[in-house]
Amino acid sequence: MMKLVIAADHGAFELKESIKKHLDEKGVTYEDCGCYSKESVDYPRFAYQAASKVAKGEADFGIICCTTGLGVSMAANKVKGVRAAVCTNEMLAEMTRRHNNANVICMGQNVVTPQLANKMVDIFLSTEFEGGRHQRRVDLLTAIENGEEI
């Protein structure tokens, strides 16, 4: 069964809870890496908690949210092995799986509606990576991450 982690800072606590409810209704299990209230926290810590589980193979995919989606995506993308994409519409959620083999989707509570977030999560989790020429490009992302000249 697919393993999923979810995390957010205070700026997206409500969005995280709403996505969790959606996943619960679908019977999809996940690990909640916090935060656990609307009290102000530092987004890199929560992005790291979820992203590092994806990097270690403890989770297949991560859903990480903040007010904008931007800060958590920056934090997550600094974890080796993570390909995090900020998504703001259904097409992006689909294409970042098909072409980028993204393993983390980032969203902003002040950017997307809860309904759109749920739809993007469904698309992200059900879309396969196309491989082929896109594998070569994803391999180049890994090379950059490893400090190689490309």
Taking CB under 6 A as the criterion, the residue among 43, 46, 48, 61 binding ligand RB5 is 43
Determine, following the binding rule CB under 6 A, whether residue 92 of this chain makes contact with ligand RB5: no
Determine, following the binding rule CB under 6 A, whether residue 138 of this chain makes contact with ligand RB5: no
- The minimum distance between CB 21 and ligand RB5, in angstroms, equals 20
CB closer to ligand RB5, 62 vs 71: 71
Determine, following the binding rule CB under 6 A, whether residue 9 of this chain makes contact with ligand RB5: yes
- The minimum distance between CB 3 and ligand RB5, in angstroms, equals 25
Strand residues in 27-148 grouped as ranges (E): 31-32, 61-66, 84-86, 104-108
* Rounded-to-integer distance, Cα 108 and Cα 53, Å: 21
Determine, following the binding rule CB under 6 A, whether residue 11 of this chain makes contact with ligand RB5: yes
Taking CB under 6 A as the criterion, the residue among 68, 77, 103, 118 binding ligand RB5 is 68
Strand arrangement, sheet containing 84-86: 31-32, 4-8, 61-66, 104-108, 84-86
- H or E element, residue 5: strand 4-8
CB closer to ligand RB5, 9 vs 61: 9
- The minimum distance between CB 13 and ligand RB5, in angstroms, equals 10
Contacts of 102 (CB under 8 A, 6+ apart): 83, 84, 85, 96, 124
The two tokens of residue 8 are 């957010």
Share in percent of the chain as helix, strand, coil (round to 5): 50, 15, 35
33 assigned to active site: no
106 assigned to active site: no
Binding site for ligand RB5 (CB under 6 A): 9, 11, 43, 66-68, 70-71
